[in-house]
Amino acid sequence: MVSVVQNVAIDCTDAYELARFWSEVTGCPLHPQDRPGDREVQVMLPEGPLLHFNHVPEPKTIKNRIHLCLRPTTSREEEVERLLKLGATLVADRRKPDGAGWAVLADPEGNEFCVLRSESDRTGASS
């Protein structure tokens, strides 16, 4: 017997608005029945678990113990710039001069996530 991961739950103070941010990040839609003010909202990823946003009364106070790692379809640098324009903030820059590493960003409610090198960034580094 095994368990299947149904969703990745993210606590937040405004489930709909944070889900909208992640919908823009991933290019995936919100669940069609979700509306502003809902206490639970889902981003419908095409594969794997859903992103499930839960309203909680308390704000985030410490570093995440679990986080999402994103591999962009464009370059890492272009994706970091796009995400910053969507409302993310740069938390830590772990990028190295040789192109390795990642950028740690936070969503509008302070949840950290990483932006890794894209496949094309990785292929270009090994050529």
50-55-56-59 Cα dihedral, nearest 10 degrees:
90
Reported as a pLDDT band with limits 50, 70 and 90, residue 83 is very high
pLDDT tens-place string over residues 86-119: 999 999 999 999 989 999 999 999 999 999 999 8
- The predicted pLDDT at position 127 comes to 41
**What's the token pair of residue 85?**
């324009």
Q: Give the global pTM.
A: 0.91
Structure tokens at 101: 């590493």
Question: What does the pLDDT look like over 43-55, one tens digit per residue?
Answer: 999 998 999 999 9
